[in-house]
Amino acid sequence: MAEDDARRREQDEDDAELMFQGVARQAELVRTGKTTSRALVEAALRRIGRTDPVLGAFRVVLAEQALAEADARDAAEPTGPLHGVPVAVKDELDVAGQVTTFGGSANRTPVAADSEAVRRLRAAGAVVIGKTTMPEFGQWPFTESAAHGHTRNPWDTTRTPGGSSGGSAVAVAAGLIGAALGGDGGGSIRIPAACCGLFGLKPQRGRVSTAPNAHLWYALGTVGPLTRSVGDAALLYDVLAGSTPTDRWSARPATTSWVQALETPPGRLRIGYSVKPAVPGVRPHPEHVGAVLESVRALRELGHDVREVDPRYPDATAPFAAQFCGGVRAEADAVERPDLLERRTRRTLALARLVPESAVERGIRAGERLAERADRMFTTMDLLLTPVVAERPRPVGALDGAGLLTALARSRPMVAYTALWNVTGHPAASVPAGLGEDGLPLAVQLVGRRDDEVTLLRVAAQLEEVRPWARRRPRPPAA
């Protein structure tokens, strides 16, 4: 018995070492014959089986399908930069043969084809291992739902991982997978990245296709990965970037590979910093203020001109609310069993039906005007540095028994620094900044000019180099 336990511990340590490598290194190991796609998938499946019953990161695990895909990858020549690497996908994106639940139980029929983002991952050689949890329609910055329960932070399973891409964040942070796709309509990549100690970039609006849908919550939503390193994020965006004719929005095409762009230092930049929230009536936690100030010190040591600024944020409440209502209504109208929506979602939907489509379109136009105002901030600085969230991660159960108004009130501190940039479309990223006194991750947000993800990535990579947070690993309990 003791020998069996020792072998299991050794196997788990080997699996963890492999999964925490990240996707770029995993792809290199497959390419050089040091491991196989099947070995990667088997390691991920063992990790998922051991810890996910506690964490709740996956809505469904595609074990047999993923193993078959891995065998096919091992039998073929490399097809792209992710050849043989297992990845996970948030459950608002279509995966062929699976139900797209949007975090609820109102859909029952599997979809016939992959979404464009998933198609591009497969074309690059990736293996889809499962779909990750989210709150219904991604409405909340807490990954909790009546259909799929609570998703737990691997650093402290009594705490939330944030949301709405919480399942994807937990899967990566816990070393169940090297990278996972998420979506960000108000902070839903950056918030869970901050809570779980990951790098999470919300790209420029239209950078990644939302097809087969024309949009994701109108102008608010973007698709992107959660990763443990800036380099992994750059690699994935090289794979994912690009629009289709059905996309309502498209970003200015990148002129070079983002992985290659990271090889060039950013030079001396003007970086403004502020701990002032974009939402009135919210105060940042002292440790989040401290994380910003520590990042200021690090950036100055790196040679940047870093100065405190007053961003004079525009009020984005009305355009955000209009598009939020329009997005929830559009997704709810597309489900098969609206009678199975959560009660809180039905209340949101009742409110959303009072907002006509013309108001949503006015919200989009108002957001564009706000984007032009925000652009003026970047005439005197290259990047803006802020906190990501105002409060520390709440205990799990933030939505338990909460009606619509209570859920909205509890969400405000989580989106106080992030939602504005969904309205304007600017790229913004959550960059890890150590651990707080509670043992949970700290993070800061970098915001860049429109279509300038490269500068943001280069500075995030510099911070990663001087603060090698990627080596820190949570130890989630086994089931």
**Active-site residue list:** 90, 164, 188
CA distance 42 to 47: 9
CB 42 within 8 A of CB 67: yes
According to DSSP, the residues that pair with 181 across neighbouring strands are: 89, 225
Structure token digits, residue 281:
């009536």
CA distance 458 to 315: 30
**Per-residue three-class SS string for 97-157:** CCCCCCCCCCCCCCCCCCCHHHHHHHHCCCEEEEEECCCHHHCCCCCEECCCEECCECCEC
Q: What is the dihedral of CA 350, 415, 143, 118, to 10 degrees?
A: 90
> How many CB atoms neighbour CB 379 within 10 A?
7
Structure token digits, residue 43:
């390691």
Structure token digits, residue 435:
């651990």
Is the dihedral angle over the CA atoms 163, 124, 208, 451 positive or is it negative?
A: positive
Strand order in the sheet with 441-448: 58-61, 127-132, 86-90, 180-184, 222-227, 199-202, 428-435, 441-448, 383-387, 270-273, 305-308
CB 180 within 8 A of CB 213: no
Helix (H, G, I), strand (E, B) or coil at 183: strand
CB-based contacts of 274: which residues, under 8 Å, 6+ apart?
308, 309, 310, 311, 384, 385, 386
Looking up tokens 């690497």 gives 85
Q: Are strands 127-132 and 86-90 parallel, antiparallel or unpaired?
A: parallel
CA distances (Å), origin 438, targets 205, 228, 472: 35, 21, 15
Q: For 300, phi and psi rounded to 5 degrees?
A: -65, -40
Helix (H, G, I), strand (E, B) or coil at 188: coil
Helix (H, G, I), strand (E, B) or coil at 317: helix
CB 374 within 8 A of CB 426: yes
- Give the DSSP H/E element, type plus range, for residue 326: helix 317-333
